[in-house]
Structure 1
């Protein structure tokens, strides 16, 4: 079996029973179950959701995206071996800890396979909640260019690149294009302030203004918990993105939950502690891959300039990256996952067939 065969690159054509189009994102695909299958699983498995809640199968892939494009390698390698299993294992670990520590639940109801989640439908809060403990990346680039105001927060003078901030900064941005909100441009992923959220909480899908404080508390607690755990394996939690939504439990109560993924190398920056103390940043996250792309291509502006998206898409489509590059990314993801979960990662030789088999035999979702 070739290396390419071990990679799950296409995840939107599995024979999972559904009567809706499969939604395929950059990394995950979502199969909405029929109302009959949803109701059957809720009853059989005892999920704590409303009896008529819509459920979905969420299948991760090994695809790698950066700068809003999907990248591929030589030899038909359409993804990164071990990446999907690593991302799911890390998220599962943090979600379980959040629940155990009494923070909040997640959208995940069941984990049939290392690549698969059974999730409940949530009404998303239309905010990408970004938390920053260090000044680096886009914030540092803006700061170095003289900007001092970020999402209603003013940063002091004299900060240096990659240094720790005095407190955790919450720098939210919009999730999707929101219309009709005063002072918020109608474009995706635009920075907003806490005051913007307070003034327009309903437009962001908060059920009450009090829920803004719950969301901020869950942000702080979630960040602190992951940060402390990473510190125990000498890793630094630099910054991350959280997403939230509302679900209804079996008792008919609405609750705010964590959704999407948490604390992964895709959604966070994680630095090696020992290297940082020696004055060097060693990334254990996708940021390393982003930097590699910026160094690999002669005109990095194509990757950074949103006005050059057409050229960027062509760059990703027409360039096979060296296999060694994707294997280095694989090493980064697998190693940080195994450090976090404290055991070897299960890596499948044929994830596609395994997924089909478990969903057929244990969940009766494959005809």
Structure 2
């Protein structure tokens, strides 16, 4: 019987990983079998694991059918997969899709709402999980897709979706009356993608980062000012929105003490240093909420158009600022996971795995 594989991490200790063999599943009637081909691994995937229980990310790809017990979790990845078997009209062998995938060789999906742009997975256990993660984009019907940019898509597209919707929410709310937007973890892909969307639209953009990343962050050209964490107390005391992508309690404490009532909004966006910060912040940003609002405001087609236009603007700028490191085969996944989880990946580097 053909063999497949699954990469998993210990839910209670994300530094522990395993790579196990399993059978290639057969797609039942009404299903299709995807072969996972090319994926990215960034701090975003670590966030999925950190928030695996709180945000239900562990539930998308249960470990049990893959020969693993509940000790283990499959951190979702984003990338491309090819249809290798299908019983669903309109989902054909050889088609290539972009979407939310397990770190595994194969995925069985139950396509519904099949059309020129792709389908949604109607697998029963995913029915009440956040719907944006259940959409699979057909490359031939995706305005954001360019074959030469597949690596940028697997590295940046899910992050850029968050960044795009974050920037949109801030603009949609009149910048919350702020004169300054302060972003922590400013060298991270999610932060600087949001900054590219927000630059020149009103408030000053201040990037907070570690001393070793100041020069890189300044070179991006998307912040009006870049400040090391140690100098956070030097930012101007003006009405400020803090977009926290680091989750560092000390930085939040410094800003609250320094800015006082001029800190008009404190929004947790990500967890690049793996400390859950949603409770410490005033609120937690969740991109699908703003996406649903804009899908209602604009219609899904217009939302997709705006996203694609913003995406192509961003990739035109960022292409020369990322060094893609391509790993070969499933064994590259634990290596990339360890590099990202331990913080050893420089901000210029992006891990792509060809499976």
Q: TM-score, normalised by structure 2?
A: 0.26
Which structure: greater strand fraction? 2
Q: TM-score, normalised by structure 1?
A: 0.25
Higher RCO (Cα < 8 Å, 6 or more apart): 1
